[in-house]
Structure 1
Amino acid sequence: MHVTHLSLADFRSYARVEVPLDPGVTSFVGPNGQGKTNLVEAVGYLATLASHRVSSDAPLVRAGADRAVIRAAVTQGERSQLIELELNPGKANRARINRSSQVRPRDVLGILRTVLFAPEDLALVKGDPGDRRRFLDELVTARAPRMAGVRSDYERVLKQRNTLLKSAALARRHGKSSATSGADLSTLDVWDQHLARAGAELLAQRIELIGVLQPLTDKAYEALAPGGGPIALEYRSSAGAAGEEHGLPPGRDELYERLLTALGEARKQEIERGVTLVGPHRDELVLKLGQLPAKGYASHGESWSYALALRLASYDLLRAEGNEPVLVLDDVFAELDARRRERLADMVAPGEQVLVTAAVDDDVPGALVGARFTVAGGEVARV
């Protein structure tokens, strides 16, 4: 799988830009602040419907413009497809495939798959649990695009359930009954079932993913930092439904029952606090280095190696499952010491398509031979 052409209109700093791309390694080199990352950010957005830099679409639209358009031609084997996303902050985004009539944005998921590593990924190790949950869910969706719908359903139910709980909590604080406040707590059982159903599907996918990701992460970490392990990925669920130490992990039906039970046990506290306390949105992926959590204990170099190992493991997993993703390395090599830089370059050089950004030519390791573009002053020019 590779991108053969990238076209942007009013995306970030670009009023318009056209970038033809080849398989193999392509490097975008130029001073900071010139738009290198904007190019690979657009590629990543097409694959995940999200930016690795910001949480909303508004910053992606060029100042003064109403919308932004990302368009890319993607080739997989003998098949080529054109995907287009129109970003409309404050309104619904639009999507087209092969210039056909409009489809839902999430329908483009799976056409292009990417694994993107950037300096922001240090948050996978040092950041909040939400960073690690997002990592799992994006990889789950890359493996099974239908999970985008499950995630959307879960977020919708969670939002509505939280609204009900918040209304009930406010009523209690002001001495009102739930009925007079409009918070009908009799519907909580129904919301619990909806939340547990979508949550069990997401939880099952996360647990299964961790099982197959663990050995790949071990392998990548050992390659980057020989003798630096062992490492372990440990899932901690708010419903007590993590992977089993013995035998197979629990199935969806069992996870559904565990979530329902945990929601029932937490109901009194949830009503008091006005928020849902049980579910995948409260779970944690603990990254362990030896017997200790990497967060707070790993050195800076160890944290970088761990974050890189997670991304490389994701890349190896997707590649093994049939469609080699585009690998994006955004301003990564400048952050690494010489040893890790060369090891990483040797590991990724054979990829079907590898996109690299760097501030100077010397930041691109010699093993990454391929096309090179300079990026400056809003212009992208092939060298």
Structure 2
Amino acid sequence: MKLSTIRLQNFRNIAEASLEFGRGRVFFVGANGQGKTNLLEAIGYVSALRAFRPGDNRALIRDGAGEAGIGYVLEHERTGRSEVIVRIRLRGKEATLDGEPVRRLADYLGRFPTVLFSSGDIQLIRGAPAGRRRFLDLHLAGCEPGYLEALQKYHRALEHRNRLLKEGGAGSALKAFEREMAPAAVRLIAARRQAMEKLGGLVEAFHGRISDGAETGTVAYRPDVEADSAEAFLALLAKNKMRDVQVGSTQRGPHRDDFAFRLGGKDAAIFASEGQQRALVLALRFGQLRDVRERSGVAPLVLADDVLGELDPVRRERFWAALEDDVQLFATGTTLPGNAGEGQWQVFRVEAGVFREA
């Protein structure tokens, strides 16, 4: 897949911009705070109609404007030329695909995949389990049919169950929500397990290419519960009900799942250096890129937000070697990459939300 044109209006600090891309590698260069990441975020918005940084719609709309707009023209492996238009308002958003309204996110997800390499990815190792679950849920929502629906059903029922637990957990309503949770929970656990097994192998392979190969790096799924049937999950809820009532919330289930990064068989969050941790998260993103492509048959757009400058020269060369030649890459940085003068990059200089092709 290739992005040939993007147009923006009142998106973050970008009043108006229209950019056309003619090469496979595009670099946005400028000082910090000028709008490089904002443009990258706008490109990534096409994937799931959401920003990759936290915040509500107000943060996406330029100060003083009532709404923001983004238009995309993409060349797609399966559908040919596609046009997506998104309007973001304070109280919601709307999108059209080739002139037709996008009515259900589940029908749209996965059509235009993107993979983000970010300096903040190191928090996938250092941060809380919620961040790792979010990574896995976003990945599977875009490439596993039915996953988003199961995730939404589980969390809706979980919210209702928790509310009833705070009220004492009595009555038939609690069991009704548990029966809704159970099949969704089993679906989530099975999908996550299968995905992490595949990602574990991909991470190991890519880590060997990025690092010096002295130690094996991988990821491993850590489910909070084991349940291969709805009946087994319901039995687990019944077993833990007394404690759940005492604390007023559901203490066990896939909403507490996690996965671990391992280096040489040890927990990378504890034993790996910063350089080793960065190599591991790079390997995870490369694994995600390969998994999405194999599942969908579509080459995702690759977004690299200020990560190239953080890599030492050896790892930077290994990054290029691991990146497939036919994927379109959009990267940002405060200085140009070392090979920018060789004609490999289409370069845009960024200042105060204005983009000028160099």
Category of TM-score, reference length = shorter chain: over 0.9
Distance in 1 (CA, whole Å) between partners of 2:27 and 2:276 is 26
Q: Tell me how many residue pairs correspond in the alignment.
A: 356
* Deviation per residue, 1:250-280 (Å, 9 max, x gap): xxxx243332222111111111111111221
Which of 227, 230, 237 does residue 256 from structure 1 map onto? 230
C-alpha distance 25-63 of structure 1, shift in aligned 2 (>3 A): same
**Could you tell me whether the CA contact under 8 Å between 1:358 and 1:364 is conserved in 2?**
no
Partner residue, 1:180: none
Report if aligned partners of 1:29, 1:358 keep a CA contact under 8 Å in 2: yes
Match of 1:126 in 2: 126
Structure 2, unmatched stretches of 5+, are: none
Deviation at 1:367, TM superposition (A): 8.4
> Residue 299 of structure 1: CA displacement?
0.6
From the superposition, tell whether residues 363 and 157 of structure 1 become closer, same or farther in structure 2 (CA, over 3 Å).
farther
Q: What's the counterpart of residue 245 of structure 1?
A: none
Q: Are residue 326 (structure 1) and residue 301 (structure 2) matched?
A: yes
Q: CA deviation at 1:163?
A: 1.8
Tell me, in whole angstroms, the C-alpha distance in 2 between the residues paired with 1:255 and 1:65.
51
- For the structure 1 residues 349 and 264, does the alpha-carbon distance in structure 2 shift closer, same or farther, using more than 3 Å as the test? same
CA distance in 2, matches of 1:281, 1:61: 32
Distance 1:55 1:43 in 2: 17
Alignment of 1:228-267 (within 5 A): 228-241=214-227, 254-267=228-241
**Distance of 2:339 and 2:181 partners within structure 1:** 47
SS in 1 for 2:95: strand
Deviation at 1:146, TM superposition (A): 3.8
Counterpart in the other structure of 2:199 = 213
Matched ranges for 1:64-83 at <5 A: 64-77=64-77, 79-83=80-84
Offset at 1:345?
2.0
| Residue identity opposite 1:360 in structure 2 | T
Contact 2:30/2:36 (<8 A) preserved: yes
Identity of aligned residues (%): 31
Paired AA for residue 165 in structure 1: L
Task: Please give the per-residue CA displacement for 1:82-114, whole angstroms capped at 9, x wherever unaligned.
Answer: 12222233x332221112245234433122101
Listed one character per residue, the Cα deviations across residues 282-318 of structure 1 (whole Å, up to 9, x for unaligned) are: 1111111123211122110011001100000111122
My pick for the range that moved more, 1-10 or 148-157, is 148-157
Provide closer, same or farther for how the CA distance between residues 85 and 122 of structure 1 changes in structure 2, counting only shifts above 3 A: same
Match of 1:179 in 2: none
Alpha-carbon distance between aligned partners in 2 of 1:363 and 1:193, rounded to the nearest angstrom: 58
Are 2:185 and 1:199 aligned?
A: yes
1:83-94 residue pairs with structure 2 within 5 A?
A: 83-89=84-90, 91-94=91-94
RMSD across aligned positions (CA): 2.1
Find the aligned partners of 1:104 and 1:129 in 2 and give their Cα distance: 28
Residue identity matched to 2:88: L
Equivalent residue for 1:379?
354
Determine the structure 1 residue equivalent to 2:279.
Answer: 305
- Give the structure-2-normalised TM-score: 0.92
Matches within 5 A, 1:1-383: 1-77=1-77, 79-89=80-90, 91-101=91-101, 103-144=103-144, 146-168=146-168, 184-241=170-227, 254-321=228-295, 322-348=297-323, 350-362=325-337, 369-383=344-358
| SS of residue in 2 equivalent to 1:87 | strand
Q: 1:190-221 CA deviation, whole Å, 9 max, x = no partner?
A: 11111112121122111111121111111111
State the SS of the aligned residue for 1:296: helix
Q: 1:367 to 1:303 in 2, by over 3 A?
A: farther
Gaps spanning 5+ residues in structure 1: where?
169-182, 242-253
Q: What is the SS of the residue equivalent to 1:313?
A: helix
Aligned partner letter, 1:215:
G
Residues 113 and 142 in structure 1, CA contact (< 8 A), matched pair in contact too: yes
Q: Secondary structure at the match of 1:361?
A: coil
Find the aligned partners of 2:183 and 2:340 in 1 and give their Cα distance. 48
C-alpha distance in 1 between matches for 2:167 and 2:60: 35
Q: For 1:360 and 1:343, how far apart are their aligned partners in 2?
A: 20
- For residues 13-33 of structure 1, what are the alpha-carbon distances to aligned partners after superposition, in whole Å with 9 as ceiling and x for unaligned? 112221212351111111111
* Aligned-partner Cα distance in 2 for 1:262–1:365: 57
